[in-house]
Amino acid sequence: MNSEPPRLLATRQFPPEIEARLRREYRATLNDTDRVYSPEELVAAAREHDAVMCCPTERFSREVLEQVAGSIGIVATFSVGFEHIDVPAARDVGVVVTNTPDVLTDATADTAMLCILAAARRGAEGDRFVRSGRWERWHTMLMLGVHVTGKRLGILGMGRIGQALARRARGFDMPVHYHNRRRLPPDQERGATFHADPADLLAVSDILSINCPSSPETVRLLDSERIAMLPEGAIVVNTARGNIVDDEALIAALRSGRLAAAGLDVFDNEPNLHPGYLDLENVFMLPHLGSATRETRMAMGSTCLDNLAAFFAGRPCPQALT
């Protein structure tokens, strides 16, 4: 019997406490430079290991999984989203995939609320205005924004994060409407109004928050046709995945004034976001900070390690996707 610890490839840098535990419990290969592996490099490196702890920057396509399946037994992703992993392919080749749900719910919901408030009250624009030295005096029409209290919040995707956002929004006296694949039980709805048809949700969303996962059904879901269904002067917030939004359509609506503002934490092809966003004053942008708190990132790392420990102990992984 081999008494040596399993060989583990960590594809990105992780919190120091998590990396220290990786060193103690595994023969770990760490990424000291935090570079992103190309598919070819990922295959070559994974073949030398028994497990991989990755981030959404590494794409485990069917082709990649078929090449590494003889070596690795588990891919533990440091994320709740798993669209970067072909889960059916992993199941076919016998590779376990795990993610990190629950632990980043509150941090991401906080970020969504931040995006709502900053977009509505012109937070980024105001900060730039003060820093530039252009603020000479207070006056009655200075940077008027949109009142949040009483506005109808539409939540597209009422999972853990959507429900956590709804709890926060109620503190601002915002009526909550939502669309989900399945209607929630009444005790989870807490008075929110369900819309079986996304078009019906859009029609009543003064502020639309995108909280659904990326999937073939949701890619470019918010296109020009659906933007036209929103009330005039609505606000769009996205803390889910960038490819759910059609960038050209959203930029055109923001530029024309059809939409009042947007708050975006995620972008298609990030960090190479559409340049059309850069000169729009009515967009509040963050560099994908949804789960970026010390506490949350530690919890995400611990969840990955708990899944890995269960796998190598022969127990079911707590957050297994396959």
Q: Which residues are catalytic?
A: 241, 270, 288
Q: Quick check: 104 and 80 in contact, CB under 8 A?
A: yes
Distance CA 218, CA 243 (A): 8
Give the bridge partners for 141, in sequence order: none
Q: Please say whether the dihedral angle defined by the alpha carbons of residues 18, 23, 26 and 29, taken in this order, is positive or negative.
A: positive
Helix or strand (DSSP H, E) at 163 = helix 160-170
CA atoms within 13 A on the CB side of 47: 9
Distance CA 204, CA 26 (A): 52
Give the bridge partners for 222, in sequence order: 245
CA atoms within 13 A on the CB side of 187: 0
Q: Quick check: 242 and 269 in contact, CB under 8 A?
A: yes
Distance CA 27, CA 169 (A): 46
Distance CA 315, CA 311 (A): 6
The two structure tokens encoding residue 259: 């939409």
Helices (H) and strands (E) in the chain, counts: 12, 12
Distance CA 79, CA 55 (A): 6
Q: Please say whether the dihedral angle defined by the alpha carbons of residues 145, 241, 311 and 25, taken in this order, is positive or negative.
A: negative
Helix or strand (DSSP H, E) at 244 = none
